[in-house]
Structure 1
């Protein structure tokens, strides 16, 4: 079986990070069937809607990760009861009577952006802060939108964490114009809370195209499943005021977390099946099927799930990833080992994700020998001989995915801080290593 790199630690550079992980190298085709944890995007929306609902709900097969536990803790701070002990999480709606609370957003954009609009329904002072990098992630546009809707917010003019929401127990709501070109979560956040506002919410986007539209479609679908009236036009979404029905929800596997596993089939010339791939889904990760096929893989559905077979040779691609930006790191890693040039574009907004992903990818790929040209909205990647080295992750789980993909194709790649994958995939390193056993 394939073994990890064997470079003695004593021979590694003196500035080596304290916890480099010798990710396994695929020296022969890998064949495996994989079960993924649940979708973070679906789980955090389901938890928030359950806290707003008109009765108790169950979130089944809930993802247990840092992001979802932070969301559960935030909703508890607002008066919800959430039992996270088992695989199925019981949720009793919030009471909205906390006199004061502090919300830790960690590195979870869904907590930083989805919780403030519902914190305004509380009768008290709710403070928000998070990890140091979260203080640089965009949220100012949404805070201004909440002020337009009648919410009192203190942020000392930063338009960023830390900030405080002063809840009055009700929010007038109504029409709001927002530039959501840096994050679709701004719109989802307002829609998720809108049914509980006195006049609902009428969100109008004014700016460059909204990125990651599938995530807004996910939000709209989940609201409608709970009986909420949502109407859509070009760059406009309206949510009517009214109850949010309690609903037991089964969380789909996280398809974006499938990226490194399916990529392993592509780079090793093996076959990987991801169990329980949904026949229909709003998850952006479903686009992996088309992308991998365009790069030269065979992609089909079986009774077990989605199967990807690689030939060991990859073709470059020209892709607009605007709606599926979270897949960019994994795709960039595949492009770095492809036989023809690639262009990845339309993803300027991912500079505001857990890290500036475009700059980070350009830096780390170049450090391993890749020929990368960084553009304001993407990357050009040309074929070039790659070599080993340290792949830094910048506390970003998607960067870690890119690192392990490269390590599977290139000798002696060490991935710094593999533990950052716990954001959406606890025990990722163990699950990845088991593929070689």
Structure 2
């Protein structure tokens, strides 16, 4: 099938590349000419495992192309995906100016029947607004609007796209339903469902799913904080809970709060939608409040140990991305930790396998960025672990002790066994477990 993807951010680039991988002819459109030229030269602008391999293969074989010319992409396409940013405003409402702006542009460009798909995460009712924008200059027989929310986890997004748990399609058009069914059938050959519903329900499904997962994480963070007060062990509690088939094991790991491009803004947006309908969504308000506090959990622990004045102290941070296997630092807990440490007068040395360039743009020489995790420990009075990269899971504790001024670890991801840390001779303070050392 002939596809155009408007927007080459995280969702757009994964979407376009994976559709090309199943034999479709894909043109990706972006207004950033320098970025388009980079991609034409084979440079993938984001880090996502396995994306570079698919990107190179499909570009080489001519199925994946890039342009700044929206009209040429429209002329090519029978399906147009809108994968544009929907950043939150000051009130938490998703900003739809990019999506509605492109929809207005498309209204003057489409000349044959085309399915226009909202791939971005958008509030309930956006499909109708996109339809109205397209209908300004178009006969409604020439297009259908579809909602097709993405459920990609950064770090495993390629696998999620190629082998989805489910595909959600929102449409009231039988013609558009058939087009979308043909497009997605190669991805669900193992029997996972394509679920068709109305557009508003599809839009709500995305927000409901992400907000529920954010709530699970937040609930476990509250349990972990209570475990620290009561002397319980959150790892044992998590295993006891997760073995209940009604609950399940996933998204029950405590830590320093959720971040990234989806959960924070989606929870805010759903809460804003509730407010528009005069509904007091108390759970979401609590989730946002708890997550805001949880982001500072490691900074709290460091200041509780050393005092509020950290002048003269050197703090090493392992991990800057909001989760492993991505370079995404949007709403990353590490950034809130850095701000707090710098404000308290600490020197910060940091290492992350992929995200350091992005963080350098924010902090410059205020933070010392290091070549590996052991270099980051040189002279450190303590270590804060912010992201659970695999390279941090089995370090040499002897090398760590040699490099550090003091063997003190504050672990925001619960990477290490408590008994092992006692044996290694560290003071070790993690999330929802007893302090040791």
TM-score normalised by structure 2 residue count: 0.29
Q: Which has the higher helix share?
A: 2
Question: Whose radius of gyration is greater, 1 or 2?
Answer: 2
TM-score normalised by structure 1 residue count: 0.29
Q: Which has the higher strand share?
A: 1
Higher normalized contact order (CA 8 Å, seq sep 6+, divided by chain length): 1
